[in-house]
Amino acid sequence: MTPPSSVPAPEDGANSRNVIVVSGRISPRALALCGLVLFALGFWSGRETRDSETVVIAQASAPASAPLATPLPSIAPAISAPAEQRSPSRVTTTIRLMKFAPEKIDLHVGDTIEWQNKDLTPHTVTSAPESEKHELDSGPINAGAVWEHRFETAGTFPYFCTFHPEMKGVVEVK
């Protein structure tokens, strides 16, 4: 490394400053340390800007002005009202800050969940070993990518990220 050199100050004295120029190569250790510090700053600043995620499941409901249904007469006990038809809904789960948000989701058979990876690293959605049904296996979901799954059977489906086993979630399908 060359020794620092000093540039002489101007003669008139206005805004005079000494400038020291340091030149030389940056060591791989210093470069790695700078990269690690920048990564840590980005990671922790992302944690501070956490916003709450809300999941809303769309359900069909009658408008407030609709008349109330009247009960069936007692003379026809074998006749029942038709089952309410509901259309499948889509729920979004966010992967952010090394967590699934929300961690627990309640669904109906036929509903779909979409996992959005808003984290810096890839994650997976994989059925947990204790799961009775092993149907969740997303493979790596890269940063910014999406994976979805439609649930065709009722049951409890615990899952986790194979890269980060502390990340866990559960889906209850009725």
Per-residue three-class SS string for 100-161: EECCEEEECCCCEEEEEECCCCCECCEECCCCCCCCCECCCECCCCEEEEECCCCEEEEEEC
**27-62 confidence digits (pLDDT tens):** 888 878 878 887 777 766 554 444 434 344 433 334
Whole-angstrom Cα distance, residue 172 to residue 174? 7
**64-80 confidence digits (pLDDT tens):** 444 444 444 444 444 44
CATH of domain 90-173: 2.60.40.420
DSSP label of 170 = E
Phi, psi (degrees; rounded to nearest 5) at 163 = -75, -30
98 touches 164 (CB < 8 A): yes
**pTM assigned to the model:** 0.53
- Can you give the residue ranges of every domain in the chain? 90-173
pLDDT at 49: 44
**Which residues are paired to 169 by β-bridges?**
159
46 touches 94 (CB < 8 A): no
